[in-house]
Amino acid sequence: MKEQIKKHFSRYVEFSDVEIDEIYSKLTQKTFDKKDYLLKEGQICKSNYFLLSGLIRSFYIDNKGNEKITQFALENWWVTNMESYIKNVPSYSSIQAIEKTTALIIDKVELEKLFNSIPKLERFFRIITENMLIAIQRRNDIYLQMKSKDRYDDLIQHFPVFAQRVPQYMIASYLEITPQYLSELRKK
Amino acid sequence: MKEQIKKHFSRYVEFSDVEIDEIYSKLTQKTFDKKDYLLKEGQICKSNYFLLSGLIRSFYIDNKGNEKITQFALENWWVTNMESYIKNVPSYSSIQAIEKTTALIIDKVELEKLFNSIPKLERFFRIITENMLIAIQRRNDIYLQMKSKDRYDDLIQHFPVFAQRVPQYMIASYLEITPQYLSELRKK
């Protein structure tokens, strides 16, 4: 597992074994059962989660009482509610396991300390944050402008794993189409 | 002007005068007339822009041919198209001056060099990127879920300057409401 961490962190920045050991020593491993919450709406998010295995969704309840899924994530992805995490305010979204999920959890206070002892880590998280920003921007600006059918095709093409592992009604929520229409699209 | 830069950069990280001088030496100042483009759709964005004065908008053309405004920004804000900038791909959005605008431009290659010579700068841009991400996420997840009237009230309350300086039809585009409805809201 330390190997998975080392490989992941070395994607953008080279860390020595000593540095990886130091980072690793600050990570807490936790396994969440299907439907368990990593974060619940209203809680203050104090951690950043690195998924070792499993599958999660981020969602919030809109003003009509509907669940709105904004993100799926699986192994080797980071998830958090950035606003809650950075500003210490209650989270407006929840993060929930869709499958049994194992995550490495880094506490914000510990991460701040690590930034001081291993400044290269700033670069790693700058790049991770840039990538998150690009993904969110793309989904909102481009993806949700596409026709429903094109969105589904795009999902199938780029994230076939999601289409296989995520329940259909969640895929429909993420794509902002009705489950009925998704079912029709799948039959074609 | 170097004072404005020093004050801005020192918001999140302490830089020495020597470091500020080094950063400053890599910035190019440019003034854009009203309606000039800082970046045009289809170009590869090679810079990050720090606005010293003025007002800009980011927008793209949706698949129905309509302009969609995703961001306004004014003095002391950073703007770029992150996806184009990071991935070296053509930008799907444009950045255009709404007023005469003066920006300090940092070239991506120069910024990468600065990251190496002044590692603290990584922290600064990590924090800037986190804040951008929070703003985008908030607009998309919460803002666009509000009723049209509440969106306008929220804008007036949090960004009165935009309501004063940005043309009404652009405000309407940003709020995703019709100019007619915005006009009604303003009369109330």
**Interface of chain B against chain A, CB under 8 Å?**
60, 62-63, 68, 70, 82-83, 86-87, 92-93, 115, 119-120, 122-123, 125-126, 129-134, 136-138, 140-142, 145-147
Distance (Å) from the C-alpha of residue A44 to the closest C-alpha of chain B?
15
CB pairs under 8 A between A and B: 83
Place of tokens 């094109």: A150
* Residue pair B42/B90 in contact by the 8 Å Cβ criterion: yes
What's the pTM? Answer: 0.89
Taking alpha carbons only, the member of A105, A129, A134 closest to residue A39 is A105
In three-state secondary structure terms, A174 is: helix
Which DSSP string corresponds to B82-106? HHHHHHT-B-SSEEEESS-EEEEEE
pLDDT in tens, chain B (188 residues): 788 888 898 889 999 999 999 999 999 999 999 999 999 999 999 999 999 999 999 999 887 888 889 899 999 999 999 999 999 999 999 999 999 999 999 999 999 999 999 999 999 999 999 999 998 887 777 777 788 888 888 888 888 898 889 999 999 998 888 889 888 888 87
- Hey, what domains does chain B have and what are their CATH numbers? 2-118 (2.60.120.10)
Contacts of residue A137 in chain B, CB cutoff 8 Å? 70, 82-83, 136
pLDDT tens digits, residue range A57-116? 999 988 788 888 989 999 999 999 999 999 999 999 999 999 999 999 999 999 999 999
ipTM above 0.95, yes or no: no
- Interchain CB distance below 8 Å, A146 and B63: yes
Q: What is the pLDDT of residue B122?
A: 93
Place of tokens 């003003």: A63
| Phi, psi dihedral angles at A70 (to 5 degrees) | -110, -15
Helix (H) / strand (E) element for B24: namely helix B17-25
Amino acid at B164: Q
Residues 6 or more apart whose Cβ sits within 8 Å of residue A39: A45, A80, A81, A84, A91, A93, A94, A95
In three-state secondary structure terms, A67 is: strand
In three-state secondary structure terms, A88 is: coil
pLDDT tens digits, residue range A2-36? 888 888 988 899 999 999 999 999 999 999 999 99
Place of tokens 């109330």: B188
